[in-house]
Amino acid sequence: MICLVLSGSTIEENLSQFSLNRPYIDLMELRIDLLGEHARVAAAEFPSMVDLPVILTCRRVVDGGSYAGPEKTRLALIESCLEGKFAYVDIEEDVKRCAAEQKARERGIRIIRSLHDFSGIPSDIFHRIARVAAKGDIPKMAVTPHSVLDLITLFRVKEELSSVTEKIVLGMGDFGLPSRILYKKIGSMLTYCADKPVAPGQISAQKMKELYRADKVDDRTRIFGVIGNPVLHSFSPLIQNPGFHGINFNAIYLPFPVDSVRSFFILAEMIKISGFSVTVPHKQAVLPYLGKITREVKQIGSCNTVVRAKNLWMGTNTDYYGFIEPIVADIDAKRIQSALVIGAGGAARSVVWALRNHGCRVTILNRNIERARQLADETMASFDSLEHAAHHAQVDLIVQTTSVGMIPDADGDPIPDFPFAERHVVYELVYRPRYTAMLKRARQAGSKLMFGIDMLVRQGKLQFESFTGYHYPKRLEQNLGLEED
């Protein structure tokens, strides 16, 4: 089930949220701690105003809520609201037997016993879940994983507690997002969503239902993802998931924040991940775990796509082809013969090798001159310090491969003194925003612009083919940012 957490301060606001989200949800949680004082007296009537089950919750400040009054008053408020036709009531795990609990049982309202841990994961989480379930209540554990290893603990819940059929388990924060989306793989009976997040990591019900189709995940669903750190900003789920749906391919693609590549491969085996994209900073770190790599990966020393092939992992690099495809004609026609590459990281490696393999002269600029020197030595390119960018204005192509200019650093410009001209081709790999500060300057100079979003989509379509064995559906391409502004 997908549960919408209602965050309005009035009954009317909550009814509006319900109406907007009705197509995407199975039940709601009415947070009376978020209601104004005058609205709380009408809370008991709310379940009669809607056509879906409602959870009654009054969350304390210590548990991430807004209710700061005396505990006795809070429990009395919950008890009074139970006159309404609520399906569930959330009462914290540490609350001893109270009148609200007794009233809920008398009225046939199921009790959710919740624990919210914003610091980590309790060492006895399995025991706590089993103990609550043994009393006939529904255990809810909202905890905070800080690593992939913590996430593995959450994914163990389904197998370790398979006898507990009704339970709610979720991870908060960035590392917890996969547990919210793959809630069925954890064995959780529901996941929480909100228009305005009231807990760390909540996403909208529409995104959960339409983008991820999380409620459709079953034992046959193939799991794909993108790993990185940070990674939640990734555009890739907006490419892959619509593509899966477009060809009726039973699969889901989601972001996995990863602090340890080794731990992620353990998780991948555990939940049977079929393949994944790789972004900063793991494009080189994945290499030791791959049983087979393509010629491009071997040459570049960087991998951005991993797929499961029989009993091993195979690594490919779609950045190489996604980058070079739109400029091959200009290279062949000698309109592009020299290039300036800004950066010396994993993305730069793919770019420099692609250009060198197509006969271009390349100069690498980087703040860390030793990294530029190392990449230049490997690729038979030239190098220089980033502060000397303006000295290389005679090149045909400028490629920006760093994260400078990416949201939230949207005003950043890696080469603020570079004199762009009409004859230049300026290729920006940052895709959010579409027009970075550097591209805006190049546009004013009349340079030909090439956008990061277009490269992202091209390499994403190649990843889609690796994941599924099918071409990306053409009818969907126009919705992926390919059209010119």
Measured in Å, how far apart are the chain's first and last C-alpha atoms? 39
pLDDT of 467 reads 97
| Contact (Cβ atoms closer than 8 angstroms) between residue 355 and residue 339 | yes
How many CA atoms does the CB half-sphere of 183 hold within 13 Å? 29
Cis check: omega of the bond before 433, within 30 degrees of 0:
yes
Q: Phi, psi at residue 114, to the nearest 5°?
A: -110, 150
The Cα–Cα gap between 29 and 58 comes to: 10
Residue 316 phi, psi (nearest 5): -130, 175
Residues of the chain with pLDDT under 70: 481-485
pLDDT tens-place string over residues 91-109: 999 999 899 999 999 999 9
State both tokens at 102: 């007794």
Whether 196 is a known active-site residue: answer: no
Sequence-separated (6 or more) residues with CB below 8 Å from residue 255 = 177, 178, 225, 226, 228, 231, 232, 234, 236, 237
Digit-coded pLDDT (tens) for 180-193: 999 999 999 999 99
pTM: 0.90
Q: Is 458 exposed, middle or buried (0-12, 13-18, 19+ CB in 10 A)?
A: buried
Pairwise CA distance, residues 60 & 74, whole Å: 9
- At residue 483, the pLDDT reads 41
Quote the pLDDT of residue 481: 52
Report helix, strand or coil for 384.
strand
pLDDT of residue 484: 37
Is there a contact between 336 and 397 (Cβ–Cβ < 8 Å)? yes
Q: What does the DSSP 8-state code read for residue 472?
A: P
What is the predicted pLDDT for the residue at 318?
A: 94
The CA distance from 29 to 33, in Å, is 11
Nearest partner of 90 among 44, 125, 120, 54, judged by Cα:
54
pLDDT of residue 78: 97
Annotated catalytic residue, options 167, 184, 209, 283: 283
All structural domains of the chain, each given as residue ranges with its CATH number in brackets, are 2-217 (3.20.20.70), 228-316 (3.40.50.10860), 328-450 (3.40.50.720)
Calpha distance 70→86 (Å, rounded): 24
